[in-house]
């Protein structure tokens, strides 16, 4: 099936008891057994639930993988991958990283003896410089949050395979509509499902998608044992959201392109981070591994300090000043004090996350209203 058809149908069959076309919300914690151990594939809803299973099958189909696992948040999905590691293991990751990922790496798992290397991965060969016998995982985002660095997934995957190291790719910013890391060699694809997959800012969820059966069994054991699994209502909401993913992503990309071009020439704007520009670092890599360039854009307010940047961020009428991204509504975010506040200032600024940087999640509203809103806020 093509992408749009998978988004609407994958993992979902008419309900066998009623014929319902939409997957029911199986609001149950436990399941009847004919005799001990003799059941219909469901025992207890921490481990699995029919609504969640349908979602996991759909997620796997969208990323062209065999297996999907849904978690109660993106951080719960990230945590499950980290729990594959042991004291003494090492992880190579990017120097421009979602603040929550940086926090869980440095404040939680580093204290258990896992070592993290935060590296500029715009040149994939830098990965090779940090690989040693203790390296067990490479964790990358592309595009990165918030400076939209593009990392060559296929090149990193080749290095990972040659060294027998797992590669996990956070594909949240691109969504499966724009990019499929597994097809480029990744072992694990991670999503904050809260974002584009859910698409309506009404649910928090994460997911892992992968092919290897043994790795899936290890992750499923963590998933079931630790219990960071979502309920059926959230699973239903994401299934519903995914049905319009292909339509929404087209609109996000179209609006994102117009806004990036508007910002590029605006006198109050300094630097614009959007991988669709020919002068964006690794633009050719983005063209190769992505189908379009998305609706995530960051920009600096020219010559502005924190006070001026805050004024601009607080002056929008259509864009909402809020954390998160990927919903139908447009959002503006100040990474240094919001999504990336857990990263030390010096570390943030080395990656380009300065006090005058703002990040846009461009929604699917009328483009003229969005452009007018930007123009008004930047004039103040």
Of the candidates 96, 152, 170, 373, the residue annotated as catalytic is: 170
What confidence score (pLDDT) does residue 342 get? 87
Write down the catalytic residue from 46, 115, 218, 308.
46
Give burial (CB, 10 Å; 0-12/13-18/19+) of 54: buried
Two structure tokens written together for 218? 């290890």
β-bridge partners, 167: 138
Count CB neighbours of 371 within 10 A. Answer: 16
Q: In the prediction, which pLDDT does 289 show?
A: 98
Are 179 and 189 spatial neighbours (Cβ–Cβ below 8 Å)?
A: no
Annotated catalytic residue 46: yes
Is residue 207 within 8 A of residue 193, CB to CB? The reply is yes
For position 380, what pLDDT does the model report?
81
Tell me whether residue 271 is one of the annotated catalytic residues: no
Active site residue 257: no
Which position among 182, 195, 248, 359 bears the catalytic label? 195
CA nearest 101: which of 130, 161, 144, 152? 144
**pLDDT the model gives residue 320:** 98
64/180 Cα distance (integer angstroms) = 7
Residue ranges of the chain whose pLDDT lies below 70: none
d(CA 275, CA 291): 12
Set 26, 53, 67, 98: catalytic member: 98
Task: Kindly report the pTM of this predicted structure.
Answer: 0.96
* Catalytic annotation present for 103: no
């Amino acid at each position: 099936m093509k992408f749009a058809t998978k988004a609407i149908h994958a993992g979902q069959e008419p309900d066998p008891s009623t014929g319902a076309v939409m997957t029911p919300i199986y609001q149950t914690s436990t399941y009847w057994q004919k005799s001990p151990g003799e059941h219909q594939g469901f025992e207890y809803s921490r481990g699995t639930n029919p609504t969640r299973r349908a979602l996991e099958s759909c997620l796997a189909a969208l990323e062209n993988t065999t297996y999907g696992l849904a978690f109660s948040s993106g951080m719960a999905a990230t945590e499950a991958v980290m729990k594959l590691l042991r004291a003494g293991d090492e992880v190579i990751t990017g120097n421009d990283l979602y603040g929550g990922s940086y926090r869980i790496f440095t404040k939680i798992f580093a204290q258990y003896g896992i070592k993290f290397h935060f590296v500029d991965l715009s040149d994939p060969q830098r990965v090779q410089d940090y690989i040693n016998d203790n390296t067990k995982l490479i964790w990358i985002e592309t595009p990165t949050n918030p400076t939209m660095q593009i990392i060559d997934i296929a090149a990193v995957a080749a290095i990972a395979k040659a060294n027998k190291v797992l590669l996990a790719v956070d594909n949240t910013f691109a969504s499966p509509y724009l990019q499929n890391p597994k097809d480029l060699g990744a072992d694990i694809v991670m999503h904050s499902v809260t974002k584009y997959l859910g698409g309506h800012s009404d649910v928090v969820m994460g997911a892992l998608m992968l092919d290897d059966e043994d790795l899936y069994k290890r992750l499923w054991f963590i998933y079931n044992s630790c219990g960071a699994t979502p309920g059926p209502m959230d699973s239903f909401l994401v299934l519903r959201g995914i049905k319009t993913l292909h339509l929404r992503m087209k609109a996000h990309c179209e609006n994102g392109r117009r806004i990036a071009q508007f910002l590029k020439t605006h006198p109050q704007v300094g630097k614009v981070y959007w991988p669709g520009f020919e002068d964006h670092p690794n633009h050719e890599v983005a063209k190769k591994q992505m189908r379009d360039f998305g609706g995530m854009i960051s920009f600096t307010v020219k010559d502005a300090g924190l006070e001026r940047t805050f004024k601009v961020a607080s002056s929008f009428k259509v864009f909402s000043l809020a954390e998160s991204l990927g919903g139908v509504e447009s959002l503006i975010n100040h990474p240094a004090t919001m999504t990336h506040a857990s990263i030390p200032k010096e570390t943030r600024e080395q990656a380009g996350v300065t006090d005058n940087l703002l990040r846009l999640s461009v929604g699917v509203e009328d483009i003229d209203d969005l452009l007018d809103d930007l123009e008004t806020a930047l004039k103040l």
